[in-house]
Structure formats: structure tokens, C-alpha cells
Amino acid sequence: MVAAHVGLISSGCCFPSLPWFPSLSFSKTKPFVMAALGEDPIREWILSEGKATQITRISPVGGGCINRASRYDTDAGSFFVKTSRSIGPSMFEGEALGLGAMNETKSIRVPRPFKVGPLPTGGSYIIMEFIEFGRSRGDQAVLGRKLAEMHKAGKSEKGFGFDVDNTIGSTPQINTWTSDWVKFYAEHRLGYQLKLALDQYGDSTIYAKGEKLMKNLGRLFENVEIEPCLLHGDLWSGNISSDKNGEPVILDPACYYGHNEAEFGMSWCAGFGGSFYNAYFEVMPKQAGFEKRRDLYMLYHYLNHYNLFGSGYRSSAMSIIDDYLRIFNI
């Protein structure tokens, strides 16, 4: 699902290196630059702070189902721009903060965000580095190693969560800082999605069974030490590519600090092979009970797909819940 020079955008995107370009300062108080409201703030920024004197071409980047994506070619290089006509800057603010945090680990390559702001007609935009993609998703072993390096380097002293709420697809993702991982995952991941299914579909069955599972999650984490690791949060095949040198690139994050195993929750559509996991676990050793928890982390994403795309994903989510309830004999 990745083309030669651009990637699929689910709510996210892809982008060519501008090594001379100043990256933004991602401090806790001012993590990125917000744009002033103008007639065309995207063009204004590119022709001023972007150091271009002319925009030579604007071309659409296909594949997105939530946001519109475009490539802006200029005499100062290319930029990747995403716009939303219906959502304010908070969604792209969360994405920019996540990209900045991943960049700071100096591990795996991600596009650098340059500007986030409101559109004068409503909605918002984000301007990013455009990365020239290669013709494949790159070496799986290198991807596994670099992802593990990001998890190892990206730590938080605040606990589990993130400085802002963000989105998983177009679903709100609540990142309230929590000291206990089991509580965080139960309330802000599974619980939020289950309540959404109840409100949206009146699905009291999956809600009631999911509640039983949530109350017993701790049984899957006995004798497991969990550190808050920086997670991409939405790692599936459409958000993985490689640059023109073959180095892995990951895109379109839904970042937060969580249990590193939660990164594999989208593995059912990520295509990770044995070489990926072998390389990953060389850097981040596998913890006891990993296989038993694997479906638990997939459940969050199956529930989200159910809420986003409908009943086709309900059976997968229900099957996982039922399996755990059988294991727990409840």
C-alpha cells in the first residue's frame, strides 16, 4: 500500500529530506510553531519561513481517508502538507508533538513537523518535511532494531500517557497521565472504546463482557515490570516505509508512553515477520507472558476499527474478549 515516493495516509502522511532545514524546537511550553491566520497560511509560511521564493507545483497525494494530503514543490525543496476541513488544529498539534518526541530519540527516522495552524475557512493544516521514499518498506530486521531503540530511548517520568490527547484514526485517544499501566490501558484504551461502542451502536453485550475483562487485566501482568516507553501508537503497513537509502521511516503516529508490547497491537495488518521480532527482542528482551498479552493489545485496535468502520470488526473484538474470559474462567 506504499507507492514509490509517497505513502498511504490514514490520518497521516509521508515526506523528502531537507537536511539544511531548521527543525522546530519541541520544548514543553512551546513544542511547535502555530501559524498566524491569513488568507493562505500554508503558502505564506512556505514563502517566508520555508525560505522559498516560488511554489512550482502542488500535487495531491492519494490514499488518505481522513485528511487531504498534498506535495508542495518549491525552489527551496519539497514540503508535505495535510489539511482537514472539519477538525481544528488540536489533531495536528498532537501529531506534531508525537513526531517531535520520536525525532528526539535519534533512533528511527520520522518526518519533521514545521508548522501547524488553522485554516481561514475552517479546519487546520500541518506542514512537514517531505521524505523521498524508496521502492520497498525496507529491511524488517533494521525496522525491528530501530523501533526497539526508540522504545528504549523514549522514556517518561510522568507515567503512562502523553502531554496532549490525540487521535487514533479519527477517534479521540485519551492520554491522561496515569501511574499504573493496567489502570491506564483499562480506562483510557479499552474502556473508552467499549463506551463508544455502547453509545454508537447500543452494543451492551460487548460492553458488559469487556467490563469483565477490564476488571481482570492485572492477571496478565503478574511479575511483569513495565516502563513507560514512547510508542508510535498506530504502526501498520500504511505507516511504514523506507527512505531512498533504504532506512526505515515511520509516519502518521498516535504517540503516547506505554508498555512497549502495545506497539504490536496493529500487527494483524503490519506484516511483521520473524526477522523483525528477532531484531526487536535483541534490543528489548521479550518479557514473560508476551504471547498471552498479544491479543489484548490487538483488541484496542479491533474495537477502534469497529467504532470507525462498522460491524465487520466486531466479531474479531468479541472473539478476543471471549477467549480471555474463558482463560480467566469468568
Of 234, 252, 295, 322, the active-site residue reads 234
CA dihedral of residues 280, 219, 229, 190 (deg, nearest 10): 110
256, burial (CB in 10 Å: exposed 0-12, middle 13-18, buried 19+): buried
189 DSSP assignment: I
The 3-state DSSP class for residue 69 equals strand
Neighbour-count burial for 43-63, b at 16+ CB within 10 Å, e otherwise? bbbbbeebebeebeeeeebeb
**Contact yes or no for 303/296 (Cβ under 8 A):** no
Residues 6+ apart with CB under 8 A from 133: 2, 3, 4, 5, 6, 7, 14, 241, 242, 243, 244, 249
234 as an active site residue: the answer is yes
Paired strand residues for 249? 109, 241
Residue at 204: amino acid letter: S
Quote the radius of gyration of the chain (alpha carbons, Å): 20
Let me know: does 314 contact 303? Beta carbons within 8 Å: no
Active-site residue list: 234
